[in-house]
Chain A
Amino acid sequence: MAQMTMIQAITDAMRTELKNDENVLVFGEDVGQNGGVFRATEGLQKEFGEDRVFDTPLAESGIGGLAIGLGLQGYRPVPEIQFFGFVYEVMDSISGQMARMRYRSGGTHTSPITVRSPFGGGVHTPELHADSLEGLIAQQPGVKVVIPSTPHDAKGLLIASIRDNDPVVFLEHMKLYRSFRGEVPEEEYTIELGKADVKREGKDVTIVTYGAMVHASLKAAEELEKDGVSVEVVDLRTVSPIDTETILESVKKTNRVVVVQEAQRQAGVASHVISEIQERAILHLEAPILRVAAPDTVYAFSEAEEVWLPNHKDIVEKVNSVMNF
């Protein structure tokens, strides 16, 4: 076991797969010699050469198309979109093309592509860097959306994503890149996509969450414990498709749910989680399911992040509402 930050675990996963499979290619804006704007690909070009890890022209749509074409030639592309706010430039390649490749070709062609991209607030980035846009891609059949919250999950999920023969969008929360270290096995391992993880066991209320909000929820759970409320925290890890089974198991135990996301209330995947629970477990509920989410405005100007982004206090408040319903 080694102590790694999430960014180190991500680099380690790419190194593992570059080593394991000569078809794995890592490319994007500044990922080569520079090692990426966050150092996620640090040292990879030096170790594996310019044919495996390379820079591209500055054009997200072109990067998406390049990945699709390389996929058609038997490669396993791992392109990077520098910030997920720039996904609008490559929406067609992701949702209009790679997500549909297997289906539209009746299984004769595939897109074994993992699109990596940072997102997430709390680090005062300029405009359109931090926006949570996972909800957009989660609505597209044919592509999976993975969001790790720990170094351990990040490595296992990224290896599994790269090995998946269908496209995966792998979103990395910028605030989690270096904010803490965690135990990460040095050897290779995978974490099955589409499986949630119970990050904290509890019996009074379930919090379903993902990304940076996992940590805010864990912090809230600690506070709530002091007041005698036992909180179970379910980390979705894959936000499309969601792990309904694990969610329901928890809900049937606690009978109360709060869904927590960083995205605006009208965005993200919280509504989908809530629909699944109400369709499948309404008779197990003691209270309505409440949401913690950002206000329905455009992402905050950086100085306003603190008042805008959901935090552990908002979660405590919502959990108390559910407990006292």
Chain B
Amino acid sequence: MKHVLENVESQFEMFQILNEDGKIVNKEYLPDLSDDELKELMRRMVYTRILDQRSIALNRQGRLGFYAPTAGQEASQLGSHFALEQEDFILPGYRDVPQLIWHGLPLYQAFLFSRGHYHGNQMPENVPALSPQIIIGAQYVQAAGVGLGMKMRGKKSVAITYTGDGGTSQGDFYEGINFAGAYGANNIFVVQNNGFAISVPRDKQTAAKTLAQKAVSAGIEGIQVDGMDVLAVYAATKHARERAINGEGPMLLELMTYRYGPHTMAGDDPTRYRTSEMDSEWEKKDPLVRFRKYLEDKKLWSEEEENKVIEEAKEEIKNAIKEADKYPKQKVTDLISNMYEKLPAHLEEQMEEYKAKESK
């Protein structure tokens, strides 16, 4: 029966457009992006790399709380987001704050999310998204519902959701893709395979040779993509989006990526489970390096432009932190009033109690 497995695996060869040297290796699927769009994509990736560096520093200074590093995943996070439209709904995991920011969540709110303030989760009206999901897998079953709702409403939009390699072992991961498949819902399911779920390597999660092939169990299309190649990620997501809005059902994308930093800033030490050889091997695949080469060859990018983005990012981050600092502190009465549309009697009573305390 071995040939059955081989047959399946051969269906999931990695899709790549741009190699590590910034050369196009797959002209056929080169996405149709204007020069301005290509530059904007680079700008976002550079900005997000700086955001990661600053966020780690701010976390160490105690000026941010929960933070899951993103460096290395810029192509995967931003290339997929770049293929979306504003009306698409994002159900992010806890590492997927950058997609929310580029979808329109103000930076200072992203910082409030990190610190643990409800205002960080109050999506602006024109930002269809949920705040980052902490329960791994829950975003997948919820995405199936959003995708079905869009299909039933006849909307030309999609629900996109993200999880990691470890998350593919959850029951909700499987139920989510299976429900979306059964209903032919407007969904894109993204697995960002960065090789590790905290300390557990990807091959301890499953004997499956790819994560993309898990789509087979739901009877939906799946594809493995070079997640360090922003053009491949963009092209695959764009393709999945077009299929979904044309009523062809959901798709599962496995993006092969890497996180250069720790799992989170809450004491994880990646040197306990990763070698420096592994890190440097993946640093050669850095999505910024290869896309920079590609754009420089096209005379679309310069050191000067990059520095401008870096300065801009630092300035905006500084301002956003200040704005977050200024935002009013939370009171118990705020938390109570966010519980229900109409407060039940027991909470009315507790509201009065805390109002009295807060007015002292």
Contacts and interface: CB of A to CB of B under 8 A. Distances in A.
A56 B179 contact: yes
Given A57-B178, A65-B175, A74 B149 contact: yes
A73 interface: yes
A57 B122 contact: no
Interface residues of A, number: 42
Interface of B: 89, 118-119, 121-123, 130-131, 135, 138, 140-150, 152-153, 159, 171-172, 175-176, 178-179, 182, 335, 338-341, 344-347
B148 A69 contact: yes
Contact of A62 (B119, B135, B176, B341): B176
A66 B179 contact: yes
Contacts, number: 131
A285 B341 CA distance: 36
B122 A66 contact: no
Interface stretch (A106-114, A204-212, A298-306): A106-114
B123 A65 contact: no
Contacts of A136: none
A141 B339 contact: yes
B171 A69 contact: no
Nearest to B347: A241
Q: Provide the main secondary structure of the chain B interface.
A: helix
A107 B142 CA distance: 18
Contacts of A144: 344
B138 to A, nearest CB: 6
A37 interface: no
Interface string A191-211: 000100000000000000000
A75 to B, nearest CB: 6
Contacts of B179: 56-57, 59, 62, 65-66
A139 to B, nearest CB: 13
Contacts of B339: 102-103, 141-142
A32 interface: no
10 contacts: A56-B179, A56-B182, A64-B141, A65-B138, A69-B149, A74-B153, A93-B141, A103-B118, A105-B123, A244-B346
Given A65-B143, A144-B344, 19 more contacts: A56-B179, A57-B182, A59-B175, A61-B141, A61-B171, A62-B175, A65-B142, A65-B175, A66-B145, A72-B130, A74-B153, A93-B141, A96-B135, A102-B341, A103-B118, A104-B118, A109-B123, A110-B341, A166-B340
A110 to B, nearest CB: 7
A62 B144 contact: yes
A166 B131 contact: no
Interface in A59-112: 59, 61-62, 64-75, 92-93, 96-97, 102-110
B119 A106 contact: yes
B159 A69 contact: yes
Contacts of B335: 103
Nearest to A97: B138
A66 B347 CA distance: 29
A103 B338 contact: yes
